[in-house]
């Protein structure tokens, strides 16, 4: 387990919410970056992060303390993003199965830009997120975990339940595709 996490995890398993909070503070930014990097709209990022943390807290008793905490937490985050994406695909299918005229569709869409999106940094984030969305999901997950969240390739492989060679190949393919997409 990661150095500073050992004591916090032990205390959190014993029910100490403050100890779990310390782990959240240590790894929360990486979790938020993961969720953003996987293309979750900014309006939903905090909800997905919260769902991830609740799921982690509830599953803490089953956590294998011989393994690192951060990849375990990130894996839960990946699954929560996948759950949201599945939900949205089903919802999209259902909405599209019922004919709607153009005026009804615009009532459902929220195209308004938030004040945060006005900054240059926010637009850059949006651009990168859109480009990442053009990657296949397995490539996007690999590059987000390694380049944005900061996991090593070994940790990313563990997180996704694949071999190190698989992650190496996915990261290489993702980088090659991204370099072509960024030039456009």
* Distance separating alpha carbons of residues 183 and 161, to the nearest angstrom: 32
- The total number of residues written for the chain in this structure: 184
What does the radius of gyration of the chain's CA atoms come to, in whole angstroms? 18
Q: Which residue has the higher pLDDT, 132 or 49?
A: 49
Confidence of residue 113 (pLDDT cuts 50, 70, 90): very low
Average pLDDT over residues 15-41: 89
Residue in 93, 95, 127 with CA at minimum distance from that of residue 109: 95
* Distance separating alpha carbons of residues 135 and 36, to the nearest angstrom: 15
Q: Which CATH architecture has domain 5-99+116-182?
A: Orthogonal Bundle (1.10)
Q: What is the pLDDT of residue 169?
A: 94
Mean confidence (pLDDT) of the chain: 79
What is the DSSP secondary-structure string of 55-86?
Answer: HHHHHGGG--TTS-HHHHHHHHHHHHHHHHHH
The per-residue b/e assignment along 74-111, b for 16 or more CB within 10 angstroms, e otherwise, is bbbbbebbeebeeeeeeeeeeeeeeeeeeeeeeeeeee
Q: What is the pLDDT of residue 126?
A: 66
> pTM, whole model, 2 decimals?
0.59
DSSP reduced 3-state for 24 = helix
CB of 172 within 8 A of CB of 153?
no
Average pLDDT over residues 143-163: 86
Residue in 121, 134, 144, 126 with CA at minimum distance from that of residue 34: 144
- C-alpha distances in Å from residue 65, one per residue of 54, 77, 105: 19, 18, 49
Confidence of residue 123 (pLDDT cuts 50, 70, 90): low
- Domain ranges for the chain: 5-99+116-182
Confidence of residue 77 (pLDDT cuts 50, 70, 90): very high
């Amino acid at each position: 387990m990661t150095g500073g996490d050992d004591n916090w995890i032990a205390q959190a398993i014993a029910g100490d919410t403050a100890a779990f909070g310390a782990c959240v503070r240590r790894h929360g930014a990486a979790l938020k970056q993961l969720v953003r990097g996987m293309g979750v709209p900014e309006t939903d990022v905090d909800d997905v992060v919260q769902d991830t943390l609740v799921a982690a807290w509830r599953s803490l008793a089953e956590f294998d303390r011989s393994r690192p905490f951060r990849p375990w937490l990130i894996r839960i985050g990946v699954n929560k993003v996948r759950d949201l994406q599945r939900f949205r695909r089903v919802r999209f299918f259902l909405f599209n199965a019922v004919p709607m005229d153009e005026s009804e569709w615009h009532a459902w869409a929220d195209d308004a830009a938030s004040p945060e999106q006005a900054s240059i940094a926010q637009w850059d984030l949006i651009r990168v997120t859109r480009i990442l969305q053009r990657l296949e999901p397995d490539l996007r997950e690999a590059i987000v975990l390694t380049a944005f969240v900061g996991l090593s390739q070994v940790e990313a492989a563990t997180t996704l339940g694949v071999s190190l060679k698989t992650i190496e190949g996915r990261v290489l393919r993702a980088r090659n595709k991204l370099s072509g997409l960024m030039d456009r």
